[in-house]
């Protein structure tokens, strides 16, 4: 078959999909280059090819058929196999390459070293001093040790000021005594802490001479490096099955006056001298750096989860024929229904918008990290505000999009053969971890209120809040391209976001003037404030999408991205209205838009989303491979239900 715009075109595919792919108006590889960045797009193809050639990296059976224990073992088996090949396949220092490898081989259900790479190593990089990096970071990168990040407790996850785990400095012995004083102080949730990790960075309240100094990070050995048995003064275990992520052993940890050397407190920022002298960090929140790191990387990850769901659903919508538009003709592909298009296409636009926003948030994080290395803490507040809002808005909207994509698949979308249940379960976990969304929105709310206050003092706001300036001084976020198409949409968006932020600020001021305490006044308007934070963040996403599209050189790719941008801006602005015209324009490119994500069957693990479109025959094959079908009569049936029925028949004959 001649080289085609849609690189997914293959001999032998379901003709329904082939027909769709022939409609492509752009080169899907060029769009993949825009979505991932050309380097990562190329590397993902190379990684996928490398994995194809290593059978022991493939799923031994579909994950949904595995028990929890089998899942944990399968993930561990693959991690072990990967450790023998990983340096031939990826650049270990490239977070997005390792993330792609992880998602293609292990999948999204978690694995014994996900927290190791997601938080343990970043926390060491951000908070260990040079000597501590030499002692632990190098070993962690070589995977000689496996770590996690243990901050959340049974009783507290959001309110870090109230964490109960204590780290009391014993000057005499130059040691910290770590203790879980209450049941609610048990560390609870940390990924891979139950069974897999042998180290953890434990966040505990530092106490020196009875003075409480707040949360600090401590390196704690959980298990013997050789026997992997639990260390003395430690009780540890798995917290049990979750809604999803069940290849991960999220754990609990009880510390009983465990003694660790003074040098086990991470001392890049805050320090404790041998005599107990405490040196404050240059910024109190530097200890929170690992969370900001994950939040800045979650945006692209959740854009990818949304892309998984939409790839599955859009391809399936083009092979599924159901019902008629013209009763005199054949049953139509469900993608032809306006309602199906409005269910999918705005979320396809969002997946691109979120991916572009995510690239920007990672870029901003790297800039902040470099300026921090140079001793400059100025960018911390801006990045915290940006990543708090993006993490909350993108995880929530991506979750909504995944669920719409599932529903668009009808009954088969509800089968785990679609894999949608897992994608959704992992997607919405992001609404909770790394800071519950409504709480993170309030962090951005604080930032916006401060911006309004400075505008009212006559100062000119800059950066992402420039649009809050008074008319006349007003700066639009798209000032560098004021007259391009859609600029009016952006200005309308800025107007709505500005109005909401000032409305929330005025309401806060009114409550404060009425004599309410700051906290009470704040609580009374958090709904308005969160609305302002949501609009501010969605404005950022829209502006970033606008800028990215206008930078695209390939005209065919730029045209389809402009179609998506137009749909996105209208959808965002009206929020619920549908735009048939735009949807029609996108319709011919629907499959090619999702093919451009180049998500392999191995990666999305969905029978419905198969690239070749051969769904029904494979759905039946999938069902037949269920464990439950291995015996004609289930052993458990023989043990329980059969005797029950035989007894019932005996009884009825008496």
Ligand X SMILES: CCCCCCCCC/C=C/C(=O)SCCNC(=O)CCNC(=O)[C@H](O)C(C)(C)COP(=O)(O)OP(=O)(O)OC[C@H]1O[C@@H](n2cnc3c(N)ncnc32)[C@H](O)[C@@H]1OP(=O)(O)O
Ligand Y SMILES: Cc1cc2nc3c(=O)[nH]c(=O)nc-3n(C[C@H](O)[C@H](O)[C@H](O)COP(=O)(O)OP(=O)(O)OC[C@H]3O[C@@H](n4cnc5c(N)ncnc54)[C@H](O)[C@@H]3O)c2cc1C
**Closer residue to ligand X, CB minimum distance, 293 or 343:** 293
Residue whose entry in the numeric block shows the structure tokens 């502006």: 543
Helix, strand, or coil here: 436?
coil
Distance of closest approach, residue 191 Cβ to ligand X, in angstroms: 5
Among 120, 433, 447, 511, binds ligand Y (CB under 6 A): 433
Q: Count Cβ atoms below 10 Å from residue 632 Cβ, excluding itself.
A: 6
At 245, list the tokens.
């992520």
Q: Which of 212, 200, 216 is nearest to 253 (CA)?
A: 200
Task: Let me know: does 437 contact 297? Beta carbons within 8 Å.
Answer: no
β-bridge pairing 199-208 and 211-221: antiparallel
Distance of closest approach, residue 513 Cβ to ligand Y, in angstroms: 23
**Closer residue to ligand X, CB minimum distance, 112 or 613:** 112
Among 89, 397, 429, 557, binds ligand Y (CB under 6 A): 429
Among 114, 180, 311, 415, binds ligand X (CB under 6 A): 114
152 is in an annotated binding site: yes
**Closer residue to ligand X, CB minimum distance, 20 or 434:** 434
Q: Is 310 in the site for ligand X (CB under 6 A)?
A: no
Give the span between the Cα atoms of 192 and 177, in whole angstroms: 24
Distance of closest approach, residue 601 Cβ to ligand X, in angstroms: 20
87 is in an annotated binding site: no
DSSP class of 119: I
Q: What's the burial of 602, exposed, middle or buried (CB within 10 Å: 0-12/13-18/19+)? A: middle
Q: Give the C-alpha distances (Å, rounded to integers) separating 182 from 6, 161, 233, 361.
A: 59, 16, 15, 38
Give the span between the Cα atoms of 308 and 107, in whole angstroms: 11
Among 194, 251, 358, 435, binds ligand Y (CB under 6 A): 435
Q: Is 389 in the site for ligand X (CB under 6 A)?
A: no
At 111, list the tokens.
């694995």
Give the span between the Cα atoms of 636 and 214, in whole angstroms: 53
Catalytic residue among 422, 434, 528, 562: 434
**Closer residue to ligand Y, CB minimum distance, 440 or 608:** 440
Q: Which residue is nearest to ligand Y (CB)?
A: 157
Q: Is 151 in the site for ligand Y (CB under 6 A)?
A: yes
Q: Is 121 in the site for ligand X (CB under 6 A)?
A: no
**Closer residue to ligand Y, CB minimum distance, 98 or 596:** 98
Task: Let me know: does 80 contact 74? Beta carbons within 8 Å.
Answer: no
Q: Is 301 in the site for ligand X (CB under 6 A)?
A: yes
Distance of closest approach, residue 288 Cβ to ligand Y, in angstroms: 12
Question: Per CB under 6 A, which of residues 142..171 are in contact with ligand X?
Answer: 149, 151-152, 157-161
Question: Per CB under 6 A, which of residues 424..443 are in contact with ligand X?
Answer: 426, 433-435, 439, 443
Q: Is 118 in the site for ligand X (CB under 6 A)?
A: yes
Residue whose entry in the numeric block shows the structure tokens 């700051």: 518
Q: At what angle do helices 338-373 and 28-36 cross, to 10 degrees?
A: 40
Q: Is 493 in the site for ligand Y (CB under 6 A)?
A: no
List the single partner that 301 binds among ligand X, ligand Y, none, CB under 5 to 8 Å by kind: ligand X
Q: Give the C-alpha distances (Å, rounded to integers) separating 644 from 205, 636, 637, 639, 641.
A: 57, 12, 10, 9, 5
Q: At what angle do helices 68-89 and 38-52 cross, to 10 degrees?
A: 120
Among 120, 169, 288, 316, binds ligand X (CB under 6 A): 288
Question: Per CB under 6 A, which of residues 120..149 are in contact with ligand Y?
Answer: 148-149
Question: Does residue 434 carry a catalytic annotation?
Answer: yes
Q: What's the burial of 342, exposed, middle or buried (CB within 10 Å: 0-12/13-18/19+)? A: buried
Q: Is 189 in the site for ligand Y (CB under 6 A)?
A: yes
At 431, list the tokens.
């609404």
At 204, list the tokens.
């505990």
**Closer residue to ligand X, CB minimum distance, 251 or 613:** 251
List the single partner that 288 binds among ligand Y, ligand X, none, CB under 5 to 8 Å by kind: ligand X
Hey, which residues are catalytic here?
Answer: 434
| Interface residues toward ligand Y, by CB under 6 A | 115, 148-152, 156-158, 189-191, 245, 250, 429, 432-433, 435-436, 438-439
């Amino acid at each position: 078959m001649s080289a085609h715009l849609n690189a997914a075109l293959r001999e032998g595919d379901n003709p329904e999909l082939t027909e769709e792919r022939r409609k492509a108006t752009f080169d899907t590889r060029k769009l993949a280059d825009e979505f991932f960045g050309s380097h990562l797009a190329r590397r993902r193809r190379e990684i996928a090819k490398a994995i194809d050639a290593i059978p022991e990296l493939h799923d031994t059976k579909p994950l949904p058929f595995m028990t929890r224990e089998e899942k944990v073992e399968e993930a561990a088996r693959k991690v072990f196999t990967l450790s023998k090949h990983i340096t031939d396949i990826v650049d270990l220092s490239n977070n997005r390459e390792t993330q792609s490898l992880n998602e293609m081989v292990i999948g999204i259900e978690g694995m014994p070293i996900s927290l190791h790479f997601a938080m343990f190593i970043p926390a060491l990089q951000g908070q260990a001093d040079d000597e501590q990096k030499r002692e632990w970071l190098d070993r962690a990168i070589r995977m000689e040790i496996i770590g996690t990040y243990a901050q959340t407790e049974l009783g507290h996850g959001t309110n870090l000021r109230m964490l109960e785990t204590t780290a009391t400095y014993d000057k005499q012995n130059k040691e910290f005594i770590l203790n879980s004083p209450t049941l609610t102080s048990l560390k609870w949730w940390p990924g891979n802490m139950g069974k897999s990790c042998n180290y953890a960075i434990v966040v505990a309240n530092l106490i020196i001479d009875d003075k409480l100094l707040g949360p600090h990070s401590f390196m704690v050995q959980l298990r013997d490096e050789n026997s992997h048995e639990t260390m003395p003064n430690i009780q540890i275990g798995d917290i049990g099955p979750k809604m999803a992520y069940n290849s991960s052993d999220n754990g609990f940890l009880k510390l009983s006056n465990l003694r660790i050397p003074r040098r086990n407190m991470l001392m890049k920022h805050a320090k404790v001298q041998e005599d107990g002298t405490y040196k404050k960090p240059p910024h109190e929140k530097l200890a929170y750096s690992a969370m900001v790191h994950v939040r800045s990387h979650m945006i692209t990850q959740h854009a990818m989860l949304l892309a998984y769901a939409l790839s599955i659903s859009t391809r399936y919508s083009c092979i599924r024929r159901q019902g008629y538009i013209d009763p005199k003709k054949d049953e139509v592909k469900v993608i032809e229904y306006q309602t199906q298009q409005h269910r999918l296409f705005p979320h396809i636009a969002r997946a691109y918008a979120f991916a572009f926003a995510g690239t920007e948030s990672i870029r901003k994080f790297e800039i902040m990290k470099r300026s921090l290395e140079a001793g400059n803490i100025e960018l911390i507040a801006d990045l915290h505000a940006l990543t708090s809002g993006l993490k909350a808005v993108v995880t929530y909207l991506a979750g909504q999009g995944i669920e719409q994509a599932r529903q668009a698949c009808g009954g088969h979308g509800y089968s785990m053969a679609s894999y949608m249940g897992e994608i959704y379960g992992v997607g919405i976990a992001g609404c909770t971890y790394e800071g519950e969304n409504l709480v993170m929105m309030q962090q951005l709310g604080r930032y916006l209120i401060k911006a309004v206050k400075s505008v009212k003092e006559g100062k000119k706001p800059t950066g992402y809040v420039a649009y809050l300036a008074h008319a006349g001084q007003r700066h639009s976020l798209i000032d560098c391209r004021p007259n391009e198409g859609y600029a009016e949409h952006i200005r309308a968006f800025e107007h709505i976001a500005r109005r909401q932020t000032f409305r929330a600020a005025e309401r806060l001021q009114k409550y404060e003037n009425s004599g309410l305490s700051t906290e009470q006044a704040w609580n009374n308007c958090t709904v308005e404030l969160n609305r302002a934070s949501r609009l501010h963040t969605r404005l950022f996403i829209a502006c970033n999408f606008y800028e990215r599209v206008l930078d695209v050189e390939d005209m065919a790719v730029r045209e389809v991205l402009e179609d998506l941008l137009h749909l996105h801006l209208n959808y965002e602005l009206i929020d619920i209205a549908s735009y048939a015209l735009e949807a029609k324009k996108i319709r011919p490119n629907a499959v090619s838009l999702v093919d451009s994500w180049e998500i392999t069957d191995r990666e999305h693990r969905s029978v419905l989303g198969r690239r070749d479109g051969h769904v029904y025959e494979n759905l039946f094959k999938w069902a037949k491979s269920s464990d439950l079908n291995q015996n004609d009569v289930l052993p458990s049936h023989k043990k329980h239900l059969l005797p029950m029925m035989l007894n019932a028949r005996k009884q009825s004959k008496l």
